[in-house]
Amino acid sequence: MSDARARILAKVKASLRAESRGPEAVAALEARLSDPQRGLVPARAQLDAAGRLALFERMARAQSASFDHLQDLADVPAAVSRYLKAENLPAKLRLAPDPDLEALPWHDESLLTVESGRATGDDLVSLTGCFGAVAETGTLVLTSGPTGPTSLNFLPDTHIVVLQADQVVGPYEDLVARLRAAYGAHVMPRTVNFITGPSRTADIEQTIQLGAHGPRRLHILLVGAKAAPARD
């Protein structure tokens, strides 16, 4: 394979006449990577906190995500029970092994069975936190890690996500900045999922069907928004 590497790079360099790239040009390339500049950020995404929350909800709902607004994290277990009952789903939950989520008052919901860990093939409902959300397109961002098994985002039929209001940024670039701050420059976790609504396909006669292979339902518990945002 190193032979292929040498051949390919030699051909690329020859095509580009790369030997003529001087040290200044290389320094410029390094600078572009070490000091990344934003491109054009759509005006739509540049909003204040209240505007971001409203945009996020509008965009996510347009992609068939559902919402529940909660005052406090402690309200999550009750909200989950309500949702499962309303959707006629069994009162059984696979919880992400996140100490902050595990510490919630699940015992108050006596009828709800809660187990934490990664997804097994039989879990119907999962609940996870998230790294953040992008208002620009109504997108949740989830990162892999000890408190966030990726399988919980895809295997179960229904995915419930706890999102705190201050996790919502406007444009993608702000989310990227938060990733770099959290993981270090140029370092990424194994997986970063940007998720916008439930799974879907249009492969049959170009008509959109929800619930292809990923979850059929995406339910967002939005905690701590000052007031329920106005719906367009």
Partner 1 sequence: MESRAHSFSANAHDALNDAQLQKALGFVKSGFIERRRQAADQLPEFEALRDQARDIKNHTLDNLDFYLERYEAQLQAAGGQLHWAATAEEARAAILKICQDAGARLVTKGKSMISEEIGLNGFLEQAGIDVAETDLGEYIIQLRKEPPSHIIAPAVHVTKEQVRADFLSHHKDLPPDRQLDDPPQLVAEARQILRQRFQDADVGITGANFLIAETGTSVIVTNEGNGDLTQCLPKVHIVIASLEKIVPNLEDTATILRVLARSATGQECSTYTTYSTGPKRAEDPDGPEAYHVVLLDNGRSGMLGSAFRDVLRCIRCGACMNHCPVYHAIGGHAYGWVYPGPIGSVLTPSLIGVQEAGSLPNASTFCGRCEAVCPMRIPLPKMMRHWREQEFARHLTPTAQRWGLKAWAFLARRPALYRVCTGLAMRSLAALGRGRGRFRRLPLAAGWTDHRDLAAPQGASFQSQWRRGLRAKVRS
Residues of this chain, 114-173, that bind partner 1 according to CB under 8 A: 117-119, 121, 137-139, 144-146, 149-151, 153-155, 171-173
Q: Does 51 bind partner 1 (CB under 8 A)?
A: no
231 binds partner 1 (CB under 8 A): no
Which residues fall within 8 angstroms of residue 68, CB to CB, at 6 or more apart?
79, 82, 83, 219, 220, 221, 222
Provide the minimum distance between the beta carbon of 191 and partner 1 in the complex, in angstroms, as a whole number.
6
Choosing from 111, 187, 227, 230, the residue that interacts with partner 1 (CB under 8 A) is 187
Binding residue for partner 1, selected from 156, 197, 219, 229, defined by CB under 8 A:
197
Indicate whether 36 belongs to the interface with partner 1 (CB under 8 A): yes
Interface residues for partner 1 in 61-120 (CB under 8 A)?
Answer: 63, 97, 117-119
CA distance 134 to 56: 7
Q: How far is the CB of 213 from partner 1 (least distance, A)?
A: 4
CA distance 65 to 59: 9
Nearer CB in complex with partner 1: 77/148: 148
Looking only at the bridges linking them, the beta strands covering 92-95 and 125-128 are parallel
Residue 24 binds partner 1, judged by CB under 8 A: no
Cβ atoms of 45 and 118 closer than 8 Å: no
Q: Rounded distance, CA 161 to CA 53, Å?
A: 15
Tell me the sheet residues that pair with 221.
Answer: 68, 162
Taking the complex as a whole, the smallest distance from the CB of residue 227 to partner 1 amounts, in Å, to 26
* 182 contributes a contact to partner 1 by CB under 8 A: no
Q: Residue count at the site for partner 1 (CB under 8 A)?
A: 80
C-alpha dist (Å) from residue 219 to 23, 33, 96, 117, 209: 52, 37, 15, 19, 18
Choice from 11, 31, 90, 113 touching partner 1 (CB under 8 A): 11
102 vs 108 by CB, closer to partner 1: 102
Using CB atoms within 10 Å of the CB of residue 220, give its burial: 0 to 12 exposed, 13 to 18 middle, 19+ buried: buried
Q: Are strands 158-164 and 125-128 parallel, antiparallel or unpaired?
A: parallel
Rounded to a whole number of angstroms, the minimum distance from the CB of residue 39 to partner 1 is 4
Q: Which amino acid is at 82?
A: R
d(CA 5, CA 7): 5
Among 46, 66, 164, 193, binds partner 1 (CB under 8 A): 193
Examine residue 42 and tell whether it contacts partner 1 (CB under 8 A): yes
Considering the complex, state which of residue 105 and residue 117 has its C-beta at the smaller distance from partner 1.
Answer: 117
Q: Which of 66, 97, 100, 61 is nearest to 83 (CA)?
A: 66
Site for partner 1 contains 229 (CB under 8 A): no
